[in-house]
Amino acid sequence: MTTTPFDKKIQGLNILIVDNNHYMRRLTRAMLVNLGAKSVLEASDGLAALEAIRTGDPDIMLLEWDMPVLDGMEVMRIVRSPGVFPRPNLPIIMLTSRAERSAVAQALRAGAHEFLLKPTSPAALRDRLTSILCNPRPMVKLGDFYVPQPRRTPGNMDMVQLG
């Protein structure tokens, strides 16, 4: 069996799953482990997520939008605060059941690296992780937002316009 660059990179990662649904956390953890992840942290709400970022030092966060206490967008707003929060460059994959195009645009505008619709598949999860690991994008300030540098492809130019 050949080892790909993705396989080597994912094995050393510490990945944080933030979802208030225990079943979804367990399912996502199983997919990550099957993809080769060795360390998976979990948080069940936004406050626990912020604490897990501070103490667990994850390399990537999978973040549910709809949660009690602090929702995913609020967590992302806090994390994407350079000079205020200790990990503003943390890669974030928004993992949610919100399928509207406006939700995708809002999440990307707020600083998500990738967007995944629930329920997701191992292949889709692997694709998003591969994008982050093999094609990293620097963080940039665009208007009031601190975001991954937008991809410049004709098909998503409307997605990267920021107010």
Of the candidates 17, 108, 20, which has an alpha carbon nearest to the alpha carbon of residue 70? 20
Higher pLDDT, 160 or 61: 61
pLDDT average, residue stretch 60-79: 95
| Per-residue pLDDT tens over the stretch 122-140 | 999 999 999 999 889 999 9
Distances (CA, A) of 59 to 11, 130, 145: 11, 13, 21
Distance in angstroms (rounded) separating the CA atoms of residues 58 and 47? 15
What is the domain-level CATH number for residue 20?
A: 3.40.50.2300
* Nearby residues of 78 by Cβ (< 8 Å), 6 or more positions away: 50, 70, 84, 85
**In the predicted model, what is the mean pLDDT of the chain?**
89
Query: Residue 141: which domain range?
Result: 5-160
Bridge-partner residues for 18, per DSSP?
Answer: 43, 63
pLDDT band per the 50, 70, 90 thresholds, residue 52: very high
Total domains in the fold of the chain: 1
Q: Over the stretch 84-124, which tens digit does the pLDDT of each residue have?
A: 999 999 999 999 999 899 999 999 999 999 999 998 999 99
pTM assigned to the model: 0.89
Q: Which of 102, 29, 107 shows the shortest CA–CA distance to 72?
A: 107
Instruction: Kindly tell me if the per-residue pLDDT of 154 is higher than 60.
Output: no
Question: Residue 160: which pLDDT band, with cuts at 50, 70 and 90?
Answer: very low
CB atoms within 10 A of CB 133: 17
